[in-house]
Amino acid sequence: MSAARVGVVTFPGTLDDQDAARAVRLAGAEAVSLWHGDHDLKGVDAVFLPGGFSYGDYLRCGAISRFAPLMEELIPAAKSGLPVLGTCNGFQILCEAHLLPGALTRNASLHYVCRDQRIKVESATTTWTSAFEPGQELVLPIKHGEGRYVASADTLEALEANGQVVFRYVGGNPNGSLNDIAGISNETGTIVGLMPHPEHAVEDLVGAPSTDGLGFFTSILKKLVNV
Amino acid sequence: MNTDSVKRAAETPDEAMPFAELGMKQDEYDRVKEILGRRPTSSELAIYSVMWSEHCSYKSSKVHLKQFATKAPESEALLVGMGENAGVVDIGDGWAATFKIESHNHPSYVEPHQGAATGVGGIVRDIMSMGARPIAVMDALRFGGADQADTRRVLPGVVEGISSYGNCLGLPNIGGEVVFDPCYIGNPLVNALCVGLLRKDQIKLATAPGPGNKVVLFGASTGPDGIGGASVLASATFEDESEAKRPAVQVGDPFMEKLLIECCLELYAADVVVGIQDLGAAGVSCATTELAAKGTGGMHVDLNLVPLRDSSLRPEEILMSESQERMMAVVSPSDIPAFMAICEKWDVPAVVIGEVTDTGRLVMTWDGSVIVDIPPGTAADEGPVYERPFHEPAGQAALNQAVDLPRSEDLRATLLQLLGSPNLASKEWVTSQYDRYVRSNTVLAQPADAGMLRISEVMDGATPTNRGIALATDGNGRYAKLDPYAGAQLALAEAYRNVAVTGAKPLAVTNCLNFGSPEDPEVMWQFAEAVRGLADACKTLGVPVTGGNVSFYNQTGTAAIHPTPVVGVLGVIDDVAKRVRSGFLEPGLRIALLGETREEFGGSEWAHVVHSHLGGLPPEVDLVAEQGLASVMVEAAARGLVAGSHDLSDGGLAIALAEACLARGVGATVSLVGDPFVDLFSESSARALVAVRPEAFEEFAALCASHEVPCYGLGETGGDALVVEGVLAISVAELRDTHTKTLPALFG
């Protein structure tokens, strides 16, 4: 059987694409580079939208990226079930593209914050979190200036009711997110967005003092192998 | 509007030119006239005035900086030395590292956010122009007193500028310094360091050889920023059309810089670049004169082709504009299509603005007339050189008189007072605003003694190895004020030690020399002494200076800053898995103090915090002891003997112990043999704290003995408090509370 192929998207200003590709390879999958300007998903089995400052985050984080040629392919594919994980800027892009509800705004502190953050797994049923246990605590780095998750009261209520809140901050909310939300999914659990960075927590030697990020990649591999 | 052409200049030899407004002296202006055999055009005057400025020409410092070359130790590692955009060092396995530190002090005072941001941008482009991928940044920062009102304006702006620019580039910020002292209140220091990585055989140089090769300007368009004096020129000779004040501080666009990085790396990989230079201070003037001077000697440029973001710019302003995110490349005509295609892929505007010639002249045209016609070397390399007079400051002897300062009996309170003081308190408020993880190669970052990066996988196609580099910057203005010769050596010794305690072998040096006005003989003495001290110490330690930067005029009225030589040291470690982390990582480890402790309180943090006193002499410099200590630490790391380490510096053993406990929340119990006050707070150099597994202690002690490094067993790690038997006991929780609350309380 050939290795699962996970696409890693590079927009102008994407920063964590090499890190994401390395994490995909460490988990045993093939990392496939996807370029923002191409109308081509290269037949990948899943897509990782990494962090960074795509298009300089000018106008609004993710607001320009959602119109990239690649997104014209990705949005319908994701709606049809292609698994997509967006971290940080990737999460912002998923919200701007309306693949996930709500929005990410300036941190309550008005400062960019980089730290090792504890989060709790609220849903282990999504395509990207099945390797975790519900209630499990992870340590992943966060590094963002605009990670405060906001949504209307109705949307929040629906997210909570449907089990679409995937991660919650514990040990202190770093950005003022409503309901301490660190990550959410779509209704079917194929699309997940979160502010923390699993790709920076996959090796003992570098990055955060944990390898908790590996679970995201083993989750998707398990899913792809079982499909 | 009239253009001041060469023809017109020849016809109007007596027309008065505003050289004084551009900071040029009468004799310097006379020399320009002598070189050209006529008066310069306004555009030529623009070029000479910026190229011969202190900032670009090093005219006051050159005669002293020579020592970095004449006294340079033999080093097989040095691939490119001083004089290029940055030095390059061989780090093994075919890899080379290039690194440099540079000041952006004055702009950061005027406009803290943009000043600091563009400081990062400038040093990153220096590293790119060597053919390297930038892989990390660090910042050495100095601010006025933490409680002074203007510090609350300057510090948050500087930190935000570094944060927004560096984070957006995707470069991990792995270390640096934040120091407060009232002497910097009107002259904060922002020294930005960048390190890059390249294959040894891929070094690019700033040169324009080969007549017929094209000169390409690429990156951002040219605007009216950072122009400073040029608007004087543009409005003095002509009607007052461009009367509007041009902003003197540049504005950065980190997104464009990120595109430039990726674009340049792809251009290098495609091998379509003959020579390259970044546009920093003095913009197009600097890039064209330096490229031409180092190449075949001639260049023809049509200034009308420079893409402008303000069409009202005059040629003098275009020449002096310091608009950010621009690069200039020399490209063979046959490679132009490939070059342009790569720029287009990355949405980087690129325009051919001229070509290399063999005339030995730099010629520029504007609207069809020749406005510049000069021998480029006269602007780039043959600027004025000053032997500025210097003498020891009148009050130096009195300053060096030791004063007996009262010592409190309550050493617990003294420790907490120091630990919570702004200079020793946790800098997390600052460093948490920097991304330290991006690129996933960060092995160590602040608050570790040195930053460390794994270098595998940085470049496509490279053989993965576990090789790594470590970097630290240090500098103590109080020490340098008391004795600039020793102060510069102590800065080097500390950075060298900080690299070594992580297990990396120190290899090379960069420096940023921040001083007051060179026209003040007392300041000039400080400068001369600091350079002499640094050059001597580099020779003894066997680490060459590869490049750096001088920043003069850090002075308000007659009040100069403390002389502040900031020294960066780069080291290499064969296997980053063997790095030694900072502090006490687990209970049950034996704690040892390496090195000798003397009663040394001149310039100490204790005298500063408790008595607001600066006097006496700084700690004694012992470079042989530093070398022995470094050898022990490097070898112990390679043999896996050490489970944690920490450099001793500001605040002495007391602060080192407290910080080591705070690293992982592991306490320690130690006993002292000498006078507890001296043992705890003296700042003697060449010392480090180590934590060793009991079973390895004997072997470690033997290693120390073989290098004649004193090794004193102090006690053991464990528990939830720092206990100094018979002297003090403080819970780790109280240490943490004291250490972390200071900066948030000051800056929100």
pLDDT tens sequence across B480-516 = 999 999 999 999 999 999 999 999 999 999 999 999 9
Residue in chain B closest to A58 (alpha carbons) equals B255
In a 3-state reduction of DSSP, which class is residue B514?
Answer: strand
Q: How many CB pairs under 8 A join A and B?
A: 87
What is the distance between the alpha carbons of residues B624 and B541, in angstroms, rounded to a whole number? 8
Query: Is it the case that residue B640 has pLDDT exceeding 50?
Result: yes
* Contact residues on chain A for B167, CB-CB shorter than 8 A: 53, 112, 143, 145
Across A86-95, average pLDDT: 98
Q: Produce one character per residue of B302-339: b if its CB has 16 or more CB atoms within 10 Å, e if not.
A: bbeebbbebeebbbbbbbbbbbbbbbbbbbbeebbeeb
Interchain proximity B433–A113, CB inside 8 Å = yes
What tokens does B136 get?
């990390």
Q: What is the pLDDT of residue B66?
A: 92
Q: What is the pLDDT of residue B215?
A: 95
Confidence of residue B282 (pLDDT cuts 50, 70, 90): confident
pLDDT digits (tens, 9 = 90+) for B203-258: 887 777 889 999 999 999 999 887 765 545 544 433 444 444 556 677 889 999 99
Q: What is the pLDDT of residue B459?
A: 52
Q: What is the pLDDT of residue B226?
A: 72
Domain B6-59+205-380 is found in CATH 3.90.650.10? yes
pLDDT digits (tens, 9 = 90+) for B18-76: 998 888 999 999 999 999 999 999 999 999 999 998 888 899 999 999 999 999 888 88
pLDDT digits (tens, 9 = 90+) for B575-593: 999 999 999 999 999 999 9
What is the distance between the alpha carbons of residues B546 and B86, in angstroms, rounded to a whole number? 7
pLDDT digits (tens, 9 = 90+) for B405-415: 999 999 999 99
Among B32-41, B454-463, B668-677, the range scoring the smallest mean pLDDT is B454-463
Q: What is the pLDDT of residue B234?
A: 46
Q: Which of A114, A143, A199 sits opposite B440 (nearest CB)?
A: A199
* Contact residues on chain B for A111, CB-CB shorter than 8 A: 160, 163, 432-433
Handedness of CA B151, B152, B157, B160 (dihedral sign): positive
Using an 8 Å CB-CB cutoff, list residues of chain B that contact chain A.
Answer: 160, 163-164, 167-170, 253-256, 258-259, 346-347, 431-443, 454, 457, 576-577
Q: What is the pLDDT of residue A2?
A: 66
State which of B106-115, B288-297, B589-598 shows the largest mean pLDDT. B589-598
Handedness of CA B595, B599, B600, B606 (dihedral sign): positive
Question: What are the domain boundaries of chain B?
Answer: 6-59+205-380
Higher pLDDT, B2 or B289: B289
What is the distance between the alpha carbons of residues B355 and B361, in angstroms, rounded to a whole number? 12
Q: What is the pLDDT of residue A53?
A: 94
Query: Is it the case that residue B96 has pLDDT exceeding 90?
Result: yes
Q: State the DSSP H helix or E strand holding residue B4, giving kind and residue range, or none if neither.
A: none
pLDDT digits (tens, 9 = 90+) for A106-159: 999 999 999 999 999 999 999 999 999 999 999 999 999 999 999 999 999 999
Query: Is it the case that residue B342 has pLDDT exceeding 50?
Result: yes
Higher pLDDT, B318 or B224: B318
Across B560-565, average pLDDT: 97
Q: How far is A58 from chain B (nearest CA, A)?
A: 9
What is the distance between the alpha carbons of residues B724 and B591, in angstroms, rounded to a whole number? 12
Q: What is the pLDDT of residue B241?
A: 43
DSSP B199-220: EGGG---S---STT-EEEEEES
Using an 8 Å CB-CB cutoff, list residues of chain A that contact chain B.
Answer: 12-13, 15-16, 18-19, 22-23, 52-53, 55-58, 111-115, 141, 143, 145, 197, 199-200, 202-203, 205-208
What tokens does B55 get?
């900032």
Q: What is the pLDDT of residue B462?
A: 58
Among B122-131, B523-532, B643-652, B738-747, the range scoring the smallest mean pLDDT is B122-131
Q: How far is A102 from chain B (nearest CA, A)?
A: 24
Among A61-65, B71-75, B615-619, the range scoring the smallest mean pLDDT is B71-75
Q: What is the pLDDT of residue B461?
A: 55
Across B301-327, average pLDDT: 92
Q: Which of B160, B168, B438 sits opposite A16 (nearest CB)?
A: B438
Catalytic residues of B: 55, 104
Q: List domains and CATH numbers for chain A.
A: 5-226 (3.40.50.880)
Q: What is the pLDDT of residue B295?
A: 79
Strands B362-366 vs B369-374: parallel, antiparallel or unpaired: antiparallel
Q: What is the pLDDT of residue B747?
A: 95
Task: Show binding-site residues of B for substrate.
Answer: 103-106, 125, 250, 322-324, 551
Q: B312: which DSSP letter?
A: T
Q: Which of B432, B441, B457 sits opposite A113 (nearest CB)?
A: B432
Report the share of chain B in percent with pLDDT over 70.
96
Q: How far is B258 from chain A (nearest CA, A)?
A: 6
Q: B627: which DSSP letter?
A: H
Interchain proximity B254–A15, CB inside 8 Å = no
Higher pLDDT, A94 or B249: A94
Q: How far is B166 from chain A (nearest CA, A)?
A: 11
What is the distance between the alpha carbons of residues A101 and B119, in angstroms, rounded to a whole number? 39
Catalytic residues of A: 88, 197, 199
What is the distance between the alpha carbons of residues B646 and B483, in angstroms, rounded to a whole number? 26
